[in-house]
A and B are shown apart, each in its own frame.
Chain A
Amino acid sequence: MRWLFVKDLQILKRSPLLVGLLIVYPIVIALMIGFALSSPPGKPKVALLNEVPTGHGQLSFGNQKINVAKYASQLYQSIDAINVNSRAEAISKVQSGQAAAALIIPADIVSQINSLVTQGAGNPTVDLILNTKDPLERQFADQAISSRVAQVEQAVSKQVLRVAVTDLQETLNGGTLKFLGQTVPLLGLKNSRAIVQGTIASLPKNSPLLPALRQVVNFATLAIDGLGFATPVLSSIGSPLTVNTINLAGKTTPTDSYAASIAVIVSLMFVGVLLAAALLALERSEHTYSRLVRGLISPSGLLSEKIALSASAAAAVTLVMSALVSLFVHLEWARFPLWVVTLALGGLAFAALGVAIGGVAREVSVAALLAFLISLPVAFVALVPGDAVSGTLRTVLDAVAFVFPFKAALQAVSNAFSGAAPGIGWPLVHLAVLTLVFGALARLAMRRFA
């Protein structure tokens, strides 16, 4: 088998166009996928539970008012809202895949914001429930909602700042302040200073001009209260709202590393499948297959050699690619041994699929065409988001994704890169089983078509 391995490497070395295509094509495809994934997201479906009673959606800060309903309508422009009536219904929508996320606005949100702004106490919180099964959908929903929440926060901050500035000006120049239902005259620091300076200048020592001095004392008291009030107000300007994110399916894959995983698996697939299919078909088109299997090497040995060579090449190319990608996207180098294991097993499964394809083709060009025709739909089927289809079609797509290596390889590599759910054990076992199954199918194909 060693000499066949060397022979195939010699042939590849003398086919620079083929090798170039095998390396450049997957990279181009990977870049295209990366570009597609980084394009602006559409409107995600979001289950929306608004528990704020009708007519109670207005915030008041001094003379300024914020109508939360205005921001709610802007939120509706960013998402495809599904109105629900209870928290349980919202969670159910996310779990069933009918919604990518659920946003729950509690009934006391307005009073909580008012309390935070006016008293420095309170924790206005909205719940954002995300389905982490699909990292892309998760990111789309998260981005759409987070940007709207940020708008509400900005509006509140802006109004609070206006209140604070008005208070400070009144503290300086004087005016009136409505506080606890009463109108309180404010002298202002400048007037107070003038009064105190005048009093000091005009009165002899020990002169009992008590009224003027009382005014100064009252103002000082109010100024202290005002500054004490301003402190929690200003501290709440940065982020008055808390978004409590709840993940329904465990630890999720960061979207950028998920996109990197897709790019790497697409490359692994193309190199593994195409190379294995082409190398096996080459033995048929060069008529060397029958010369080899008449005692020089067994058909199973020949298939093993093609699988091993193609898997090694695919794993090597994608390991280098992963290292390059890690310059731009955070991938966990501490899990590098898992990268190697995953890419090696994924490469074996794809190469086994390749020899099964090569086993039915008599020419390299036919094998390559078949490999493309089978690989591309398999990849797209595995990438269809869970909530994009439902019912029987979803069952069919899941079944197709299950019998080909793409989805299992993607799950394994996502985990290897970032430790994402659903773990790495089962996908690796799945890939090993698929390697054996496709290897056996290739053996059958060789028996039938050789």
Chain B
Amino acid sequence: MSIDINTGERTATVAARALTKRYGARIALDRISFALYSGEVVAIIGPNGAGKTTLLSILAGALEPTEGEVARAGDKRFGWVPQEPALYSKLSVAENLRLFARLERLADPEQAVARMLGQTGLEDRAHEEVGRLSGGNQQRVNIALGLLSEPPALLLDEPSASLDPRQRERLWEFISALAGHGTTVVFSTHNVAEAERYATRVLVLGDGELLFTGTPAELERAVSEPDAAAGAVRDQLVGDLETAFVRFLHERGH
């Protein structure tokens, strides 16, 4: 049975229904449903082992769900930027881009290579072996590969983990620009401050369950009052998403 990605006035870029993933007896994802829309920047946050990478891998098509389904607008493949740069270190930047452009069966692979080199500012490193590049530049190539086919959604698994602050800043500028052009951006992160700053929506996962979906501000407000005189406590949490997030997980037994 297929799912309808037209939800009310807006058409979702991707809609997931009752996604479940089991590894033997262990449940990595438990009946997760949500929809993502054009131009959204969505952060998936949660403690280690919550199922963030599993969820992104299923959305990317790299992993099959045990149950449930994913519907994609136009059935186009999404851009996929795994946590570790998925590149051939013995090939040059241009050769990596060219290979995947050909595998994606793009109409003009050379034009796509030139476009991505320009977008990522790697023209002058085009003929360098990827293995000789810095971690930051490798991540740029990694992202460029995810964007080669101009996908409607870009999925990034902890994209800023190996970057220094300056590289991180450039990454988020780049991602914000993509979203500005209508690309749906979904990223997982342990850095809650990053989610607070750049995400328009957060999905909170805990032990494979979707615990919360809403804006960062809504997550801060969702933390319950600990006692009758807790109004002040809640006021303290507003503006501190990380503390609110930890408290939120704690209250739900995670």
Contact = CB atoms under 8 A, between A and B. Distances in A.
Query: Does B associate with A?
Result: yes
A11 B90 CA distance: 6
Contact of B84 (A4, A11, A287): A287
Contacts of A4: 99, 103
Given A290-B57, A290-B60, 17 more contacts: A3-B103, A4-B99, A4-B103, A7-B95, A7-B99, A10-B90, A10-B95, A286-B88, A287-B86, A288-B86, A288-B87, A288-B88, A294-B61, A294-B80, A296-B103, A296-B104, A297-B103
* Max count, chain B CB within 10 A of own CB: residue among A4, A7, A15: A7
B103 A10 contact: no
Interface in B54-96: 57, 60-63, 77, 80, 82, 84-91, 95
B145 interface: yes
B102 interface: yes
A14 B88 CA distance: 12
Nearest to B99: A7
Interface in A129-152: none
Contact of A3 (B62, B77, B86, B102): B102
Interface of A: 3-4, 7, 10-11, 14-15, 286-288, 290-297
B62 A290 contact: yes
The 6 A-B residue pairs with the shortest CB-CB distance in the complex, in nearest-first order: A287-B86, A294-B61, A294-B62, A290-B62, A296-B103, A291-B86
B172 interface: no
Interface residues of B, number: 24
B175 to A, nearest CB: 19
A294 B86 CA distance: 13
A294 B100 contact: no
B193 to A, nearest CB: 27
A377 B60 CA distance: 42
A13 to B, nearest CB: 9
Interface of B: 57, 60-63, 77, 80, 82, 84-91, 95, 99-100, 102-104, 129, 145
A292 B103 contact: yes
B80 A286 contact: no
B26 to A, nearest CB: 15
A288 B63 CA distance: 14
Nearest to A282: B88
Contacts of A292: 103
* Max count, chain A CB within 10 A of own CB: residue among B87, B90, B95: B90
15 contacts: A3-B102, A4-B103, A7-B91, A7-B95, A11-B88, A286-B87, A286-B88, A286-B89, A287-B82, A288-B86, A290-B82, A291-B145, A292-B103, A293-B62, A296-B104
